[in-house]
Chain A
């Protein structure tokens, strides 16, 4: 099937405004007749639930954490982009649009990206009005910093805790609606199935994580705002509870999964120290503004203390390879460059998987106090984890899985191919193409929730009758039985291996075979091995306790089962895409200098996969991408 994203045509500057006018509206007195289910309360979910509740819809919101304020958006550190051009350095909506398309390696829809750039400015206004204490300069006006992949300073920030402040802003707006009764909040509640009736998404089945109760919630539309799936690599910067489960359940019910192979590996994470490790910790990319990446030129220097290696023997490899962007090269490029140095035997730290991020020169130029003011919390975090003082010895960093550009396929209205199912934020595939630029995730989450879904959902609801499906519908009952059946099955296996052992095994396999660099051989091997892990999981996993109680093992087991199925799709997508682009690097497809080699003739499309069953190959659907405003070109940051 050739998919149509239904993006508006015409001059790009007018697309969103024209579309907004053309969409249908729901009149104020009719809004309260509709119920909207919002799953996930990160930036996208919280801002959507708050804005829709405020408009007068009945909203029910769900999160697996104990409070909506804990969603993993909170961990984003560096900042949020907007085309305000406050610094007068040449920024504009068009430039943000251009940079995002180019940064995404020409694998996103132009009008969607334009809209993101257009509403970026409203987001900053909204956040300031909410009382978010963004960094300011002494004039009292907002401060900006620069970020990877851009040559202008367009990033707004709140110390090293921008995601936290933005999420708390959205959470406070949500809290206000909860108090007003327009939003009903269900914390510690996990979505375990999507109910589709006559082809439309009309309910979800959830498990109350405290009591173990499994029940269905019906609505007129379902919004999945459930984040990304890079915990498929086991060790990632995501929170422990982040999973593919919600979108995977939707995929199994017919929603298309687009571009799963576009995974982002973040260049500035603290390297792994041991095999017991449960997660990797990211340090904001903003560190690359003042830190310089290097490795020793000579392999024999790698074991020496960094400060004993003379300047002449240091290889500032990013500055050498990309003189115009230097240490601010985009994430995929910076990550691969670090891997190259380590593969070449010049990595530092345990296992030789690390590069230095050195602040010596900026401390000499600006003073330690300035560096402390900019990044103090990050240096502290680094010291707590590594027991090393980043002001005195260079930090050690290594890339780690961080963000998923892929996700459920959505059209321009953020609606999946299943009517009534909308997907927002990281959970969808829409705007970042094959690579996301720094400080753009926060922008997308809030754009989707505050300024896009309130318009586009009305267009769907205006054409549907409220309350079509009740909880006693046969599909709802079946869904409850299915979810109960799965829990019972997991609890009944009583095998010999723990859930953690399985997710570790799966994660190691996907990271090694489908991580920063992939080949036909590595992917074929992974696709052959994953079914064996799945088979053993369902035969030999040990999940203790009961279903009708607080049971963290059961939660993890369900998420792991979904990751195992998903890993296969991830590898299949990576195998089918015979090109390198953005976060998807196939070693066979590169230029002699090691840069990614795109194949626009054959792969200038979004790949949307349709579920066909556990042991059957998924079906590929394509959405061709056309570039009318930004010319398809080889991405160069030299």
Chain B
């Protein structure tokens, strides 16, 4: 029972947390103490403990986004000690556990910081820009009903697995928060690559990539300069090869637009 040998040991930690009452108000760091934390607390359960204390003291608890607490909904979004989601490989901050910290540690908590993600309150940001990128083209334009039998078009296992590797993105935005340019190219690249690998995505591939890249720019995201910080921060291990695929798909689309077979939006 390795996980339960030290149940009675507790930690005390110093938290330095970004507090900001609203989108247009100035923010600042505040210091708090987290007491009675065991190694089995998840990071967010540690924050729950701190918040319970704050509420009892009549203070405003720290606002943070979270929902499923099992690493799949993509809602949690906190920069811990300068790293989006806290730096444990393939782990969202809700799945980060306090056994990764030790008694007496000082922990910095900040929101995702990016031009395209305005801060709403404390650690909560508005990631609506990611939704707008999907709305621009992250789909196949099929109607409900009237589609062929699921087995009508075979798809090689390799292509299907590649597509699934890309499709695993949870849309948390850690890639943007980790990128020095505030780029959403890993996010956009993953969605473009998912469809680029499948026969169902081919018909509208050039328009898709053009629209999504346009929207990415309109939302205020930066561009990739190959730091690969996005992949390091990604809780789902989305590979930077999908950014290369995004660029390749964009080039392909450009050539096809030149040859007259497709038109770009905005042209």
Contact = CB atoms under 8 A, between A and B. Distances in A.
Interface of A: 47, 50-51, 54, 65-72, 74-75, 84, 86, 122, 124-142, 158-159, 161, 164-165, 168, 171-173, 175-176, 178-179, 185, 187, 210, 237, 239-241, 273-274, 276-279, 281-282, 305, 349-350, 380-381, 384-388, 450-451, 454, 498, 500, 542, 544-545, 549-550, 552-553
27 contacts: A65-B75, A67-B130, A69-B171, A72-B67, A122-B145, A125-B149, A125-B150, A128-B150, A140-B155, A161-B72, A168-B167, A276-B45, A276-B49, A278-B48, A349-B4, A385-B95, A386-B3, A387-B97, A451-B144, A500-B52, A542-B55, A549-B21, A549-B121, A550-B22, A552-B61, A552-B63, A553-B55
B90 A75 contact: no
Leading 4 A-B pairs by shortest Cβ distance = A140-B154, A172-B139, A129-B147, A133-B164
B126 interface: yes
A65 B30 CA distance: 27
Interface string B160-173: 11011001101100
Contacts of B72: 74-75, 161, 164
Interface stretch (B11-19, B193-201, B225-233): B193-201
Contacts of B267: none
Interface string B39-53: 011101100110010
Nearest to B211: A179
A614 B45 CA distance: 33
Q: Count chain A CB atoms within 10 A of each CB in B139, B155, B200 and give the residue with the most.
A: B139
Contact of A240 (B69, B90, B95): B69
B138 A544 contact: no
Interface residues of B, number: 82
A277 B45 contact: yes
B245 to A, nearest CB: 15
Q: Count chain A CB atoms within 10 A of each CB in B59, B128, B160, B170 and give the residue with the most.
A: B160
A69 B120 CA distance: 19
A158 B164 contact: yes
B111 interface: no
Given A130-B200, A176-B135, A276-B41, 17 more contacts: A70-B74, A75-B70, A122-B145, A125-B148, A130-B142, A133-B163, A140-B155, A140-B156, A168-B167, A175-B138, A274-B38, A349-B4, A350-B7, A384-B95, A387-B3, A542-B56, A544-B58
A273 B131 contact: no
Contacts of B139: 130-131, 172-173, 175-176
B179 interface: no
A385 B74 contact: no
B251 interface: no
B131 A388 contact: no
Nearest to B155: A140
Contacts of A165: 164, 167
B73 A75 contact: yes
B2 A126 contact: no
Given A65-B75, A131-B195, A279 B70 contact: yes
B188 interface: no
B206 interface: no
A544 B61 contact: yes
Nearest to B73: A70
Q: Count chain B CB atoms within 10 A of each CB in A54, A72, A172 and give the residue with the most.
A: A172
Contact of A544 (B7, B59, B71): B59
A66 B75 contact: yes
Given A67-B128, A273-B3, A50 B144 contact: yes
A131 B59 CA distance: 48
Contacts of B164: 133, 135, 158-159, 165
B99 interface: yes
Q: Count chain B CB atoms within 10 A of each CB in A86, A210, A279, A282 and give the residue with the most.
A: A279
Contacts of A273: 3-4, 40
A172 B65 contact: no
Contact of A129 (B3, B126, B140): B140
A131 B48 contact: no
Nearest to B140: A131
B262 interface: no
Contact of B68 (A72, A134, A388): A72
B9 interface: no
B13 to A, nearest CB: 14
Contacts of B79: none
B51 to A, nearest CB: 9
A605 to B, nearest CB: 34
B55 A125 contact: no
Q: Count chain B CB atoms within 10 A of each CB in A126, A133, A552 and give the residue with the most.
A: A133
B224 interface: no
B138 A350 contact: no
B91 interface: yes
Q: Count chain B CB atoms within 10 A of each CB in A128, A273, A451, A498 and give the residue with the most.
A: A128
Contact of B3 (A71, A237, A388): A388
B116 interface: no
